[in-house]
Amino acid sequence: MSDLPRLWLRHESRPTERRAPLVPSDAARLVSQGAEITVEESPQRVFPLADYVSAGCATAPAGSWTDAPRDHHVLGLKELPPQPGRLQHRHVYFGHAYKGQPGARELLGRFTAGGGALLDLEYLTDDHGRRLAAFGYWAGYLGAALAVLHRRGVLTTPLRSLHREELDTLLRDGEGGGTALVVGALGRSGRGACDALETAGLTPVRWDLAETRDLDRDALLDHDILVNTVLVTHPVRPFLTPADLDAPGRRLSTVVDVTCDVGSDCNVLPVYDTVTSWTHPVRRLRGGDRPLDLIALDNLPSLLPAEASRSFSAELSPQLAGLGTDTPPWSRALRVFDEAVARETAGAQGAAEPDPARADGEENIRV
């Protein structure tokens, strides 16, 4: 009998989520090795269900993961629907529940009540703390791209999913956009942001650890665009505050927060209280003769769902072969979950994020 896991790829309940953590071609390879994979129907997933059937996967109705056998790992990307209140399976997705985010305690309580567990993809790391599968590059690329298109006055809403060729044509065809600063430029997300800006004909200023240890706030405010992709694992001095938005010499007019750590003590841009949306991707934080706008979408890579999914699946699928075994990456992910639950059980309020010892330059993003 194969030691490979039994996977249940769920439909994403968020209407704008078109990505898949496992694409049909990679599913086919796992099936050929002995994995059992069930894929839920989904009207929005960028890959047709028929492609998964051709790969040897079974199918199930959307949302039926709640009745899946308990030995199946439920695989997804974004948030779970609010029901059921008790989660009995092991879920593999981005839970965003370890830094005191809104709803984190309730989510961990659902796992505790049902006997399940969260294997958070953000904490699937190698022995050096580097993430093994990430959407960071595409999150940064798209965040910077939206900033340029907005500054040029050609960003159309509501947003829609694209292919990279179409997006790059939009970036290359226009002119202008101003000066741009990327904070966290050495990580995946920062590199993606810099690539998008260069595609648009801009030369980004790159800041990383050295520049943020002793932040030059006046220099930050002297750019037209700020793209924040920086890793923060514990509270630090904010990069931008409400007072900065009213600074007399502020040139900054467009802020893109790729991290979207709103509601967390680790938020380095505490100038807004909720993310933006595909319908209204830009929010005006200051008006008048020096307006300042915010873009803070927490699923940016879904704007390029096919490219982002293929890249992510190529990194994740080899790790899925060891899911359900005592391999170090999954053991670490489970340990982080157990530690988070233990803190909540002990009533530890405001505890620091569990530190998976991630490498310098890595990004901490909402995807």
Report the catalytic residues: 78, 96
Q: What is the pairing mode between strands 6-9 and 36-40?
A: parallel
Do residues 46 and 301 touch, judged by C-beta distance below 8 A? no
Q: How many CA atoms lie within 13 A of 233 on its CB side?
A: 14
Distances (CA, A) of 300 to 16, 17, 23, 143, 196: 10, 10, 18, 7, 13
Give DSSP secondary structure letters for 21-49.
SS-HHHHHHHHHHT-EEEEE--SS-SS-H
Q: Which residue in 2, 1, 4 sits closest to 324, CA to CA? A: 4
3-state secondary structure 74-137: EECCCCCCCCCCCCCCEEEECCCCCCCCCCHHHHHHHHHHHCCEEEEHHHCECCCCCECCCCHH
Tell me the longest C-alpha to C-alpha distance in the chain: 69
